[in-house]
Chains A and B, each alone.
Chain A
Amino acid sequence: MAPRSIRTSNPDANGNPVIAVDHLTVNYRDTQALRNINLTVRPGRLVGIFGPNGAGKSTLMKAMLGLIPVVTGRVTYGDQDLAHQLDRVAYVPQRSQIDWTFPSTVWDVVMMGRVKKTGWLKRFSATSRQLAKEALDRVGMLEFKDRPIGALSGGQQQRVFLARALAQEANIFCFDEPFVGVDQKTEAVIFQIFHELANAGKIVLVVNHDLGESITNFNQIILLNKELIAAGPREWVLTRDNMTRAYGGHIGFFGHAA
Chain B
Amino acid sequence: MNWFYEPLQFAFMQRSLAVAVMVGIICSVVGSYLMVQRLALLGDAISHSVLPGLALAFWLGANIFVGAFIAGVISTVLIAWIHRRSPIKEDAAMGIVFSAFFALGITLITTIQKDNKIDLNHFLFGNILGVTSGDVRDTAIIAALVLVAVVLFYKELLFYSFDPLGAQASGLPVGRLNLGLMVLIALTVVASMKVVGVILVLALLITPGATAYLLVPRLHQVMWLGSGIGVIASLSGMYLSYYFNLPSGPAIVLVASGFFALAFLLSPRHGVLTQRPRRSAQSLSSILSEEA
Contact = CB atoms under 8 A, between A and B. Distances in A.
Given A99-B162, A103-B222, A91 B169 contact: yes
A102 B36 contact: yes
A86 interface: yes
B85 to A, nearest CB: 10
A92 B170 CA distance: 10
Given A103-B36, A103-B217, A105-B217, A112 B169 contact: no
A140 B38 CA distance: 32
B219 A104 contact: yes
A168 interface: yes
Interface in A148-187: 148, 164, 168, 174
Contacts of B171: 86-87, 89, 116
A29 B84 CA distance: 10
Given A86-B170, A112-B158, A120-B156, A93 B218 contact: no
B217 to A, nearest CB: 4
A91 B159 contact: no
Task: Place the interface of chain B in its size category.
Answer: 20 to 34
B155 A102 contact: no
A93 B159 CA distance: 13
A213 B152 CA distance: 49
Interface string A25-41: 00001000000000000
Nearest to B217: A148
The secondary structure that dominates the B interface is: helix
Nearest to B151: A121
A105 B169 contact: no
How would you classify the secondary structure of chain A's contact residues: helix, strand, loop or mixed? mixed
The residue among B162, B165, B168 with the most chain A CB atoms within 10 A of its own CB is B165
Nearest to A107: B218
B165 A124 contact: no
A108 B219 contact: yes
B165 A93 contact: yes
Contact of B165 (A29, A62, A108, A164): A62
B213 A86 contact: no
Question: Which residue of A93, A108, A124 has the most chain B CB atoms within 10 A of its CB atom?
Answer: A108
A111 B172 CA distance: 15
Contacts of B217: 103-105, 148
A80 interface: no
Contacts of B119: none
Given A103-B216, A104-B218, A91 B162 contact: no
B162 A112 contact: yes
Given A115-B172, A116-B170, A97 B165 contact: yes
B218 A92 contact: no
B95 interface: no
B169 A108 contact: no
Nearest to A109: B162
A6 B256 CA distance: 62
A103 B213 contact: yes
Contact of B162 (A67, A104, A148): A104
A65 B38 CA distance: 26
A120 B38 CA distance: 26
B170 A67 contact: no
A98 interface: yes
B258 interface: no
B166 A93 contact: yes
A89 B158 contact: no
B166 A108 contact: no
A113 B159 CA distance: 9
Interface in B108-162: 152-153, 155-156, 158-159, 161-162
B166 A91 contact: yes
B156 A92 contact: no
B170 A103 contact: no
Nearest to B171: A86
Task: List the 7 closest pairs (A to B, CB-CB), nearest first.
Answer: A91-B169, A86-B171, A148-B217, A112-B159, A116-B170, A87-B171, A93-B165
26 contacts: A62-B165, A65-B169, A67-B165, A67-B168, A67-B169, A86-B170, A86-B171, A87-B171, A89-B169, A102-B161, A102-B162, A103-B217, A103-B218, A103-B222, A104-B218, A104-B219, A108-B219, A109-B162, A112-B155, A112-B162, A112-B167, A115-B159, A118-B155, A148-B217, A168-B170, A174-B169
Given A90-B170, A115-B172, 10 more contacts: A89-B169, A91-B165, A93-B166, A99-B36, A102-B36, A102-B161, A102-B162, A108-B219, A111-B155, A124-B155
Interface of B: 36, 38, 87, 152-153, 155-156, 158-159, 161-163, 165-172, 213, 216-219, 221-222
Interface of A: 29, 62, 65, 67, 86-87, 89-93, 97-99, 102-105, 108-109, 111-113, 115-116, 118, 120-121, 124, 148, 164, 168, 174
